[in-house]
Amino acid sequence: MLITSFLQDLLTTGSITLTGRPTPFVPDDLLAATDLLQTYHAEDAQQMPHSAPAFDAPAALWAARLLYYTIQLTLVRELDEAVIAQALADFTADLTPEVLYSADLMLRYLPDLLRLAKGLAPGDALVARLQALARQWPLSFVSSEMPDPEAEARVLVHPALRQEYVDRIIRAQDRRRAGQEHLRPLVQAALGGHAATLWPDFQAFTLLPTDGKHAD
Amino acid sequence: MAESAAGMMTERVLVLASADRAVLGYVRTVPGLRVAEAAGQLWVRGLPATGELPAAARRLPAAAAYALDAQNRLFATGQLTPTAHLPDLAWLPIQEFVPLELPTAALPGQARLRYRVRLVPSARAVAGSALLTTLAAWLAYVETAPEIRLRHLRFAVAEDERVLVLGAPLPPLAGQEYWLQEGMLLPAGFDFEAPLLAPLLARRLNPAADSLVVFVSNGRWEQVLTSNLVPATRSAVRRTAQSFSHA
């Protein structure tokens, strides 16, 4: 199975077929996949507020492989923690806005897989690994695990990522995040004077004191 | 003598040219008049023998006026000697000789009912449904606007880069706000002079219900096909703006 074919299926039909154990990809395949991801980045950037961060090929490719292996590991449940740790390794370079956005192009599909994996086996190693990723990549995991403050701060420092993050919180009606003291003003500003129409119970739940755990 | 002659007279007779036939309409309601036509002349009889002529009869362009006696002799006005005998004519009551006609339009099949639409200031406060602004302002807003503020909007762009934005809540941009009535957009603060005509006007201006009729305050309007309205996504607005900058 080529990662290029995987990406083409994912981005054009939304339907993919994977079998077998995780295996490394050949260089030509990775090069073609990089071109595909760059094209996708250019299209997606048209929807981003402000100016989207530039394309970072290593981050986008790392995320594509991570997504591919996560799907594979979700299907092949008998794989052990060592395989999971190796296949779903962290991104090792600096987490710049370019990295956060380029990786997000693929990581944004992971919350659905996390929900699926939780449903299949709530306590297994794959779920734990995805939950750790969720804390590290908050832009991609809105409405999932609450983020590490440092990871979230990296998102909030860039205007495009910050606006996109707030947009996703509102789209997902993520009450836990919207209720956070540092995020509430951002959500309120986005809703403007139309909060009662756009998010009818926003005022009600943000008036309640929250410790970040029980706002929903 | 003149008085005795006048006392013998039974009626007065007027003679008009046939070309003046239309003026007989003036005297159509004078009772007892009869009319006959002969040799390019119209003869009118039945006017009273003495006293002033009815006002309508005095307006007739008579070529000659006579008094008629019992022997059908014609006496010119003020004369004691008859000048002629009344011709033997086919007399008709004036109502038959000058029948009523309903006026008809010159081009009845082509006449069009026209109603000049007037807008007048209105005290009614209605929520805005659309905003007319510029492409530059719209693009600048969309670049940074929260996605939730765009989600409920649609837009269309004219060749002169005016942008009509529809939906609620409307973007906080400078421009002309409109309110919606029967598929027609009226400038905020204005209403039709005759609001009850709105449904009729909507059917007349937009019979296929496939467009929005956008009015300006002087009563003029233009139409925007609803098929030209697209969802207000950032990519749609950016690509539209790019197409204009390349044109």
Residue-level pLDDT at B1: 39
- d(CA B238, nearest CA chain A) in Å: 7
**What's the confidence (pLDDT) of residue B103?**
43
Among B141, B142, B147, the residue to mutate for chain A (most A Cβ within 10 A):
B147
More confident residue, B115 or A116: A116
Q: In this complex, which of B144, B169, B234 lies closest to A47 when CB atoms are compared?
A: B234
pLDDT tens digits along B39-68 = 888 999 988 888 778 877 887 888 888 888
* Record: contact A190-B148, CB cut-off 8 A: yes
More confident residue, A211 or A124: A124
> Under an 8 A CB cutoff, do B147 and A46 touch?
no
- How far away is chain B from the Cα of A46, in angstroms, using its nearest Cα? 5
pLDDT attached to residue A206? 80
SS (H, E, C) chain A: CCHHHHHHHHHHCCCCCCCCCCCCCCHHHHHHHHHHHHHHHHHHHCCCCCCCCCCCHHHHHHHHHHHHHHHHHHHCCCCCHHHHHHHCCCCCCCCCHHHHHHHHHHHCCHHHHHHHHHHHCCCCHHHHHHHHHHHHCCCCCCCCCCCCHHHHHHHHCCHHHHHHHHHHHHHCCCHHHHCCCCCHHHHHHHHHHHHHHHCCCHHHHHCCCCCCCCCC
Percent of chain A with pLDDT over 70: 94
Query: What is the pLDDT, as a whole number, of residue A37?
Result: 97
Contact at CB, A47 and B235, closer than 8 angstroms: yes
In this prediction, residues A53-63 reach a mean pLDDT of 98
Query: What's the pLDDT band for B107 if we cut at 50, 70, 90?
Result: very low
pTM here? 0.72
Highest-scoring range by mean pLDDT, A88-92, B21-25, B191-195: A88-92
Contact residues, chain A, for B149 at CB < 8 Å: 190, 192, 194, 198
* A120 to chain B, closest Cα gap in Å: 34
pLDDT digits (tens, 9 = 90+) for A186-202: 999 999 999 999 999 99
B238–A167 C-beta distance less than 8 A: no
For testing contact with chain B, the best of A163, A173, A174, A188 (most B CBs within 10 A): A163
A21-25, B5-9, B242-246: which has the minimum mean pLDDT?
A: B5-9
Spatial separation of the C-alpha atoms in residues B196 and A92, rounded to whole Å: 71
Pick from A49, A190, A191: CB nearest B234 = A49
Interface touch B234/A194, C-beta < 8 Å: no
Q: How high is the pLDDT of residue A70?
A: 93
Q: Which has the higher per-residue pLDDT, A20 or B42? A: B42
pLDDT value of residue B7: 55
Residue of B nearest to A194 (CA): B169
Whether residue A210 has pLDDT greater than 70 = no
Least confident of A69-73, A169-173, A190-194, B95-99: B95-99
Give me the pLDDT at residue B60, please: 84
Calculate how close chain A gets to B228, using CA atoms only, in Å: 21
Count the Cβ atoms, other than its own, within 10 Å of residue A140: 24
Residue A121 is predicted with a pLDDT of: 79
CB contact under 8 A, A47 and B146: no
Buried/exposed code over B164-183 (b: 16+ C-beta within 10 A; e: otherwise): bbbbebbbebebbbbbebbb
| pLDDT value at residue B165 | 97
pLDDT at B108: 43
Q: Would you list which residues of chain A are within 8 Å, Cβ to Cβ, of chain B?
A: 43, 46-50, 159, 163, 166-167, 170-171, 189-194, 197-199
B143 contacts A166? CB cut-off 8 A: no
The alpha-carbon gap from B148 to the nearest alpha carbon of chain A, in Å, equals 7
Give the chain B residue nearest A44 (alpha carbons). Answer: B235
Higher pLDDT, B88 or B207: B207
Q: What is the pLDDT of residues B134-192, one digit of tens each?
A: 999 999 999 999 999 999 999 999 999 999 999 999 999 999 999 999 999 999 999 99
Cross-chain CB nearest to B143 (options A50, A166, A170): A50
Q: Quick check: A163 and B146 CB within 8 A?
A: yes
Q: Compute the nearest-CA separation of B179 from chain A (Å).
A: 19
> Residue A213 pLDDT more than 60?
no
What angle, rounded to 10 degrees, do the helices at A57-75 and A3-12 form?
Answer: 90
